[in-house]
Structure 1
Amino acid sequence: MTGDARRHDAAATLRRARLDDAAELARLSAQLGYPQQETTFASRLRRLLVSADHPVIVATDDDRTLLGFVAIEHRLMLELGERVEIVGLVVDDRARRRGIGQALVRAAEDWARELGVADVMVRSNIVRTESHPFYEGAGFTRTKTQHVYRKRL
């Protein structure tokens, strides 16, 4: 999905995120457990919107209220080569079970194909038990379990 191309799915309209989506993206992210201020999202989104390697695709019914989003990253890993990774996926609590999550995953897969990248990855926190069957149903295969470490600087 290049530029501001739109695609209609039965569940919603998919389009690239715009800066004026920041408040809605923050609202959805809070549902996933990552609350942030709208200004923080606007600042991050401003940087992502100019990056060819970090698209954000949103689902909407009315072009204002977002039903969900997928954030994607194209990366080159020294040991594995090129990958597309779904780094964020959330569907509004009120819009779940409508096929929106599947449509957003398909949009990420379509983007990977446009780039000529054969592998799409996603990481799912072990505590998000409802997401594991979702990804498996979308054709993803669990390849490993890992610990994530963080060091504040």
Structure 2
Amino acid sequence: MLIYHKEVQSEKELLEVYPIIKQLRPHLDETAFLTLVSKAQASENYKLFALCNDDMPVALAGFLPRVSLSQGVHVWVADLITCKKHRSKGYGKQLLRIVEKWAREHGCCTVALSSGTARKRAHRFYEEKMDYKKASYLYRKTLS
């Protein structure tokens, strides 16, 4: 069993990981996914990393380097998912550690993320296994 990570960039690679991201973002069809990732990669330096087990993607992390007055230079994890069939095998922890390493190597002082209020298992993972602290609430308003 060979575990490795890679940055997902080509359309072919994006289509290979789409079934996993669809588990996290069910509202996105393939076309919307490809369009959004392409735009985010070009304009916001969005990175999408896949953790692979024997050439099969099993977990994904999409993140962006950011600067804000509240957090300084940091990485914002926008998307983090382990394929349902491969959960509780340590893949999420391994992938988040890879994001943290990338952040350190690129001068970031923190890694931040948000998690939906209903995702209790994810919250336990972040707090108990990854030592992340709940720092705030995220509020959102959809504009019409």
Check conservation: 2:22, 2:28, Cα contact below 8 A: yes
Q: Does 1:151 align with 2:113?
A: no
Q: Does 1:100 align with 2:95?
A: no
- 1:55–1:72 distance in 2 versus 1, CA, 3 Å: same
Check conservation: 1:53, 1:75, Cα contact below 8 A: no
- 1:110–1:31 distance in 2 versus 1, CA, 3 Å: same
- Give the partner amino acid of 2:92: G
Deviates more, 1:69-78 or 1:18-27: 18-27
Deviates more, 1:128-137 or 1:17-26: 17-26
Alignment map for 1:13-32 (pairs within 5 Å): 13-19=4-10, 20-32=12-24
With normalisation by structure 2, the TM-score equals 0.86
Deviates more, 1:22-31 or 1:45-54: 45-54
After TM superposition, give the deviation of residue 148 of structure 1 in Å. 1.8
- The size of the alignment, in residue pairs, is 142
Q: What is the RMSD of the two structures over their aligned residues, measured on CA atoms?
A: 2.1
Deviates more, 1:70-79 or 1:135-144: 70-79
* Structure richer in helix, relative to its length: 2
Query: Which of 43, 47, 50 is equivalent to 1:55?
Result: 47
After TM superposition, give the deviation of residue 101 of structure 1 in Å. 0.2
CA distance in 2, matches of 1:43, 1:144: 30
Q: Does 1:109 align with 2:100?
A: yes
Percent of aligned positions that are identical: 23
Structure 2 unmatched runs, 5+? none
Match of 1:44 in 2: 36
Structure 1 unmatched runs, 5+? 1-9
After TM superposition, give the deviation of residue 106 of structure 1 in Å. 0.5
Check conservation: 1:11, 1:100, Cα contact below 8 A: no
